[in-house]
Amino acid sequence: MTIKVLAIDDSRTIREMLRHTLTQGGFEVHVAEDGIDGMEKLPQVAPDVVITDINMPRMDGFGVINAIRAEAEFAGMPILVLTTESAQDLKERARNSGATGWIVKPFDDGKLIGTIRRITVA
């Protein structure tokens, strides 16, 4: 079964890149442009994994993680944080709010796909 990915990032460039890379990687890709948009799309898309940026207007990545974890239906949803910040404290903070893992931008295509495969049940 095709793995469905919901990618949330306020940068159109990053969204396009994710869409391209992940589609090539055999995933079904849906995108949202900020946390609010992402949370609206979440129930419709019902993804297997969520990838979210941290720094976004309206609702940031931490907001997304909290909101997803607060929904019983998606409480076990794998969430990858996509961030340029490779700083340890940000990883720590992301995980403390319930992120499954992280990808540091700029991402390597193969590694990105590998990471998603790693945390999803195909």
Does residue 101 interact with other proteins by CB under 8 A? yes
Provide the 8-state DSSP code for 51: E
Q: Does 16 bind other proteins (CB under 8 A)?
A: yes
CA distance 44 to 79: 17
CA dihedral defined by 16, 19, 22, 28, rounded to 10 degrees?
A: 180
The reply on whether position 4 binds other proteins by CB under 8 A is no
What is the Cα–Cα distance from 58 to 113, expressed in whole angstroms? Answer: 28
Residue 99 found at the interface with other proteins (CB under 8 A) = yes
The residue among 30 and 63 lying less far from other proteins, judged by its C-beta, is 63
Measure the CA dihedral 58/84/51/72, to 10°.
-60
**103 binds other proteins per the rule CB under 8 A:** no
Give residues in contact with other proteins (CB under 8 A).
10-14, 16-17, 20-21, 24-25, 35-36, 39, 55-59, 63, 66-67, 69-73, 75-79, 84-87, 95-102, 104-111, 113-114, 118-121
